[in-house]
Amino acid sequence: MAPKKLLITGATGYIGGSVLAGLQASSNVSIKELSISALVRKQTQADILKTMGVNPILFKDFSDTEFVKKVASEHDIVLNTAVSFNPGSAKAFILGLAERQKATGKEVHYIHTSGTSSLGDNTITKKYLHPEGRVFSDKEDIYPYLKEREAIEAYGQRTTDIAVVETGKDTGVKTYINMSPTIYGVGTGAFNKLSIQVPMMMRKAIESRVAQCVGDGSGVWDHVHIADLVDLYEIMLAKVLAGENIGSGREGFYFNSVGRHSWFGVAQAIGKVGYELGALDTPTPVPIPMEEAGIKWHGGNAQVAELGFASTSMTSDERSRELGWKPTKTEDDWNKSIKEEFEMVLEESKKSKA
């Protein structure tokens, strides 16, 4: 029997690279037998992945939805870690898988990577505020909430989450959404080793020589270590390969929160470490307006600055735990990671100036 074919996106990124490394090191027989392909944009990346036993597939970008659909139709499972703000590509992956399912008569699966900014409230603009203490459980029906929020204001990542659920339902493709909070820790992939949110705050702190938070920093988020997150992907994939009927579609949202932080607390920790390392002029963080953060951090996108760096988004991962997920990292790991990652970002900054 031919091995099942897995297509992974984002293999050169932080999450995807780490997930790929985890799958290749897995002791699970079904995972070890997978034929793994990866979408990449550069020949140099393809060459490296080929030496790792991965089949690289060169493509232009995710706007080429016909090609994305075609490639997906040649695989049994798509694990998308690359684009959470692109509903068109998500639909194309699912439509391609639907063709595969129709042609083979065998079940296909789409595992999508999203983030909890889709659930974040508007702590600054006040367009939508959660009741105090609101914690989302992945055992809830999250879909109606996403639709309600999307009706108030469209948000690319949330738009994509909705498209995944609806396209999966329309085509009969089983979909699963890993909705992660702030991810921290050094990645294990062959390429990018750092996450987005906290390293972004560190880079901006080094540039301005002072730690910054968007608004007053009172928003509260969860966090998860990349190693624990990789374990969840492996567990989910193993169960899918074993034919287990785990929650999918509207019942296919999976949270993965292990600890909790305020954005001001992150800025404080960055300020303390940066000052001790001589990279910042003061240990005390300063607030910056959402609009300024949007311009300096996100190419003019103030919405991402608010939802991704200032909102409140708290979750409970009951469904993930029921799969058998047992994260091992602690708050001590979170605290230690601030210095470790700051040192890496600082070294990166020095090299860019050399």
Q: Which residues of 183-197 are buried (b: 16+ CB within 10 A; e: fewer)?
A: bbbbbbbbbbbbbeb
Alpha-carbon gap, residue 179 to 62, rounded angstroms:
21
Residue range 13-63, pLDDT digits in tens: 999 999 999 999 999 999 999 999 999 999 999 999 999 999 999 999 999
Cα separation of 202 and 144, whole Å? 36
Percent of the chain residues past pLDDT 70, beyond the cut? 100
User: Band of the pLDDT at 352, cuts 50, 70, 90?
Assistant: confident
Report strand pairing: 220-225 vs 259-262: antiparallel
Q: What is the pLDDT of residues 239-262, one digit of tens each?
A: 999 999 999 999 999 999 999 999
Q: Provide the 8-state DSSP code for 3.
A: P
Distance CA(86)–CA(163), nearest Å, equals: 9
Q: Evaluate if residue 1 carries a pLDDT over 80.
A: no
- CATH topology classification for 5-264+298-347: Rossmann fold (3.40.50)
Secondary structure (3-state) at 76 = coil
Three-class secondary structure of residue 98 per DSSP:
helix
Question: In residues, how long is the chain?
Answer: 354
Question: Residue 237, exposed/middle/buried by CB under 10 A (0-12, 13-18, 19+)?
Answer: buried
DSSP state string for 259-327? EEEEHHHHHHHHHHHHHHTTSSS-SS-EEE-HHHHHHHHHTT-HHHHHHHHT--B-EE-HHHHHTT---
pLDDT(354) > 90: no
- At what angle are helices 263-276 and 331-353 packed, to 10 degrees? 60
The CA dihedral of 225, 250, 308, 10, to the nearest 10 degrees, is 60
Distance of CA 38 to the CA centre of its chain: 17
- Can you tell me the mean pLDDT for 67-76? 98
Residue 2 pLDDT: 80
Burial class (CB in 10 A: 0-12, 13-18, 19+), 233: buried
From the DSSP assignment, how many helices (H) and strands (E) are in the chain? 14, 14
pTM of this structure: 0.97
Q: Which two tokens stand for residue 30?
A: 């079904």
Mean of the per-residue pLDDT values for the chain? 97
pLDDT (0 to 100) of residue 260 = 98
- pLDDT at site 83: 87
Residue recorded with tokens 């960055």: 270
Residue ranges of domains in the chain: 5-264+298-347
d(C-alpha 315, C-alpha 201), whole Å: 22
